[in-house]
Amino acid sequence: MKNYLSLIKFSHTVFAMPFAVLGFFLAILHSGQGLSWRLFALVLLCMVFARSAAMAFNRYLDRSVDERNPRTRSREIPAGLISPRAALVFVIVSSLLFVLCTWFINPLCFVLSPVALAVILGYSYTKRFTFLCHFVLGLGLSLAPIGAYLAVTGRFDLLPLLYSAAVLLWVSGFDIIYALQDEDFDRSLQLHSVPAALGKKKALALSSVLHFGSALFILGGAYWLSRLFPVFGWLQWAGAAVFVLLLFYQHTLVRPNDLSRVNLAFFTTNGIAGVIFSALVILDMYW
């Protein structure tokens, strides 16, 4: 179990899960429906199964690349802790469980489940042909608030799209920062990434631009909520302020010639930002 949790980097669920929970509670507020713990559990299971399938498939597909990269050769498949076949079975089972959960939610989520799987599984191929791979990853995680909103309402709306856009730019930006570590390795294997295509300095500049755009969507979402619902007060603005500040704080941790704090910028800062923001917005709904 420990090896499989490590394979899928379960701790990284902290990036998308808070926005899925936020999308769920915003949908309840917007639709006027009562809270269904059964539905909430199904949304959480969808998140876990979808992300597990995506991460395990990425590790399965990249097993030969990870074996050649000094930074990643200790991962579970190259290290022999999990066999490629077992990893692929895990991907198939997780995907089927994701689709099954959507069937219990509503017909629209069930019909769209293959589309979601195509995006999150297809990301693993993109580094082989385009440096836009970071944006595909961002797109995959940006489906979280939309999917949770659809689970409750069964319809599309502008409200979750604002936060989905914020997640897309946020994740794309910090994935570029993470990819700085493999710039030379990616070039040597002709793998595509923004750092390999533009170099560290320009890659960091692009990441900053993306995070500026994400900040605008977060603040725009806060403004939109305050106009739509009188229940929102200062807490959601505090959450937005924390998210934006941490968004830009991570850019003080990384320099083109100093990548020693990439993990702090990538995991700790972004994880805290998502959790605090979503928690304060949800708390503002009920306090």
Question: Is there a contact between 193 and 183 (Cβ–Cβ < 8 Å)?
Answer: yes
173-199 confidence digits (pLDDT tens): 999 999 999 999 999 999 999 999 999
187-245 confidence digits (pLDDT tens): 999 999 999 999 999 999 999 999 999 999 999 999 999 888 888 889 999 999 999 99
Q: Decide if pLDDT at 10 tops 80.
A: no
CATH class of domain segment(s) 2-286: mainly alpha
**DSSP per position, 228-262:** H-TT--HHHHHHHHHHHHHHHHGGGT-BTTB-TTH
Q: What is the pTM of this model?
A: 0.94
Q: Decide if pLDDT at 6 tops 80.
A: no
Mean pLDDT of 282-287: 88
CB neighbours (10 Å) of residue 1? 5
Q: Decide if pLDDT at 58 tops 80.
A: yes
Domain ranges of the chain: 2-286
